[in-house]
Amino acid sequence: DLTYAAMATPKGLAAVKAYADWIGADTAMIEPTPGDSSALIADAHAAGLKVAAWTFRAENVFLPEIDRVSDEPAGHGRLAERLARFVGYGLDAAFMDQPGLAGR
């Protein structure tokens, strides 16, 4: 049996491909340090899997510091910029609470 951590390795992703076409990953698994991506998307794509990330939210309280625009927890930060970074990493799809704020 694969643990979730093992599933995120190249070997684990190859095993997942036997029964799935997509993986869903917490944004922290893709961007463990804001502005720096992990190898998860590239490894998943190499295994033939697409990647969806969850959950993108606009409120500052849910954003890494670099994407916040104020200290107001409920205020909206830079959701579109954050999502653009993830698209740049190769993200295929995103789950978000405010899709209208995501930009184009």
Dig out the tokens for 104 from the structure.
Answer: 């184009």
Look at residue 103 and tell me whether its pLDDT is greater than 90.
Answer: no
The sign of the CA dihedral 27, 6, 44, 52 is: negative
pLDDT digits (tens, 9 = 90+) for 34-68: 999 999 999 999 999 999 999 999 999 999 999 99
Report the distance separating Cα 71 and Cα 40, nearest Å.
31
Residues 6+ apart with CB under 8 A from 33: none
Q: What phi, psi does 54 have (nearest 5°)? A: -140, 160
Which 8-state DSSP code applies to residue 40?
Answer: H
User: What is the model's pLDDT at position 104?
Assistant: 54
